Amino acid sequence: MKLIVGLGNFEDKYLFTRHNVGFMAVDFFVAQANQSFKIDKKLKSSIAKFRFNNEDIVVIKPLTFMNLSGEAVSAVMNFYKIEAKDVFVIYDDISIDLGLVRFRASGSDGGHNGIKSIIKHLGSKTFDRLKIGIGPQPNIPSEAYVLQNFTKDELEALKPILKKPMIEDYLREGIEKAQNLHN
C-alpha cells in the first residue's frame, strides 16, 4: 500500500495559494482516477482510497495546517500500517521556478515547515517527494509569498504541469524513472 500526501492548508481562503500546490496536484490525480475525497476527522485528513496499477493507494490532504501536517500523515500511516518507505509527499518549493518539478528520494526539510513536521512525526527523512516549483520569490518574506494566491497567468502556466502523469509515472515506474522523465 502506498500513501500519497498532498500538502496544503485546508481552509477555502487558501484554495489557490502557492502553498496549496500539493493539494492541487492530488486533486487532479484523484479526479483523473474518477475517485473523490472523504473527510475522516479521526485521521485528520481528507482521504481517497482506491487501487492503481494493482496496488492499494491512499491519497490524503491533511486537515491540519501546513506546519502540523505530520500529525495527519502519522495518523494515516498508523491506521493503515504504512511504512515511511511507502510514503510519497507532494508540495511546493519556493527555490524552484514555477513550471519545474523535482522528484527526490529522501532528504532534509529544506526549510519547508510541512516537511519538517512530517520528518518529526515519522522520525525519518526516508520518504519520496515531488517538489513543484512556485518561484522565483520576489523580495518579500517567504511566509507572505507562499500564502498569496497564484496570479491568473501563474495558474494557466501550472495547468499543463499538473496534467502531466507525474504521480502515475512514479507509481508505475518508481522514483528513479520518474526523476528521469520529469526532473
Catalytic site positions: 19
Rounded to whole angstroms, the Cα distance separating 18 from 98 reads: 10
Q: Which residue has the cell 486533486?
A: 27
> Grid coordinates in use for 76?
494515516
**Can you tell me the distance from the alpha carbon of 149 to that of 15, in angstroms, rounded to the nearest whole number?**
8
Cell of 99: 513550471
User: What is the residue-wise DSSP string for 107-121?
Assistant: ---TT-HHHHHHHHH
